[in-house]
Homo-oligomer: A and B are copies of this chain.
Amino acid sequence: MARRIGILTGGGDVPGLNSVIKGVVYRGAEVGIEVIGIRRGWEGLTHVNLADPNSKERYILPLNRENTRTIDRTGGTFLHSSRTNPAKMKSLPEHLQGMDFPRQETTKKGITWTVYDVSKVVLKNLETLGLDYLIAIGGDDTLSYAQKLDSLGFNVVAIPKTMDNDVRNTEYCIGFSTAITRAMDAINRQRSTVGSHERVGIFRVFGRDAGYTSLYTAFVTNIRCGIPEHRFDLDKMIDLLVHDKRNNPSNYCLMVLSEGAEWEGYTVQEYGEPDAFGHRKKMSVAEDFGNEVKARAKEETLISDLTYELRSGEADFIDKLVASTFGNMAFDCVLAGQHGQMTAVENGCFAMVPIPDPKLGPRQVDVSTMYNTERYRPNYTNKVGWPIFLCRL
């Protein structure tokens, strides 16, 4: 049986992560399994120098009931996070410099750079720490390395989290419900401002590749939405909004756009000076769309960006329920001696599934069943047989 489990959180934080951590630690305390917190995601396994007490203190935190008792009362992650991917490191921490690692050339937008795979360091550190298992909590990128590490022979159990809800093999990722809760609350609070000034209110939410956040926000606020999975017709969308506005006795209307939403013929504009990788800043699709509304329909707009707000604050009921359950499922998986698996919701039920293949990319909204391409709204009909979160794998 496992004796000592590591746990880490990678990528963007979401409310609920601390409930997972606490759940795992409390289960460990019951059955006598140590739980070791790895701080700052994978960085804790690539950058730690276990021979250096300061470095060890910076990255390794033994967890117990005392130091996790109150963590589930706040959002974020008690273990902190980073976007480090041990298989794709752009630069090496000081104490690894000069060592020999597999390298690879990566090219993006005409700029090429070298990335290193420091997996051998990760494996060595896991061994030195005496860990039998690692519970890795993260989104696409974090979990892609979880899969790799498991394939290298170290036992990993994965837990999906992301407010975008776009990890494959699961209908639900921790943080999604709270994100919709925050978006719904913000839009309903700002409704009176849009109405008082008789505007077309355009809200923008995170979601570069997947439109779940925009779609479900629209579902529960009854407004139009644009998602990355379907390029809309610009004039048709504006017509619908102007129609909504005219039919509203308060003479306003609302819509929500994923940051990755586009209309037919739209190319995102950039501005400012290019950075080291040749990237210039991208214009907000909400602002660009707002300009089109003004130009074509002579309607004033109000653009509101809902960004970090969506991952802020305490987890809502569903995220606490799922986070605790996922944490316990991961622990049960460890107890059962299984690995390479991810906690998931499948067909409306909790399930253990394979950690998704990173090559497949993020999960996306199934436009044909979930999005009404005539009315640019969620599809509300014929839901009998659908899982509770209204999406299928």
Hey, which bits of chain A sit against chain B, CB under 8 A?
A: 9, 12-13, 15, 22-23, 27, 40, 66, 69, 72-77, 80-82, 172, 177, 180-181, 184, 186, 188-193, 195-198, 216, 219-220, 222, 248-251, 271-272, 302, 304-305, 307-309, 311-314, 316-318, 320-322, 324-325, 328-329, 332, 345, 347-352, 380-390
Chain B residues with CB under 8 Å of A347's CB are 347-349
Is chain A's binding surface mostly helix, strand, loop or mixed?
Answer: mixed
Residues B314 and A304 in contact, CB atoms below 8 Å apart: no
- Which chain B positions have C-beta within 8 A of A387? 348-350, 388
What is the chain B residue whose CB lies nearest that of A75?
B192
Would you mind naming 24 contact pairs between A and B with Cβ atoms under 8 Å apart?
A9-B196, A13-B192, A13-B196, A27-B380, A66-B249, A80-B197, A181-B316, A181-B317, A184-B317, A186-B309, A189-B309, A192-B312, A216-B317, A216-B321, A219-B320, A220-B324, A271-B272, A317-B318, A328-B380, A347-B347, A349-B385, A349-B388, A350-B383, A351-B385
Cβ A311 vs Cβ B193 within 8 A: yes
* A280 CA / B304 CA spacing, docked (Å): 20
A-B contact sample (4 more), CB < 8 A, given A177-B317, A188-B314, A309-B309: A13-B192, A75-B193, A351-B385, A387-B388
Which one of A12, A320, A348 has the highest number of Cβ atoms from chain B below 10 Å of its Cβ?
A: A348
Alpha-carbon distance A381/B249, docked complex (angstroms): 34
A45 to B49, CA, bound (A): 49
* A384: B residues at CB distance < 8 A: 329, 332, 350-352
- Contact, CB under 8 Å: A380 / B23: yes
8 residue pairs, one from A and one from B, having the closest CB atoms? A348-B348, A76-B192, A189-B312, A76-B196, A13-B196, A189-B313, A220-B320, A75-B192
Number of copies: 4
Task: Enumerate chain B residues within 8 angstroms of A380, measured Cβ to Cβ.
Answer: 23, 27, 324-325, 328
Of all chain B residues, the one with the shortest Cβ separation from A312 is B189
CA distance A192 to B17 in the complex (A): 11
- Closest residue of chain B to A9 (Cβ to Cβ) is B196
Are A388 and B345 CB-contacts (below 8 A) given A317-B177, A321-B216?
Answer: yes
Question: Bound state CA distance, A69 and B388, in angstroms?
Answer: 25
A99 CB to closest chain B CB (Å) equals 24
Interface pair A190/B317, CB less than 8 Å apart:
no
Q: Give the docked Cα–Cα distance between A195 and B74 (Å).
A: 11
Residues of chain B contacted by A313 (CB below 8 angstroms): 189, 192
Contact check, B307 vs A304: say whether CB atoms are below 8 A apart: yes
**In the complex, what distance in Å separates the CA atom of A74 from the CA atom of B33?**
33
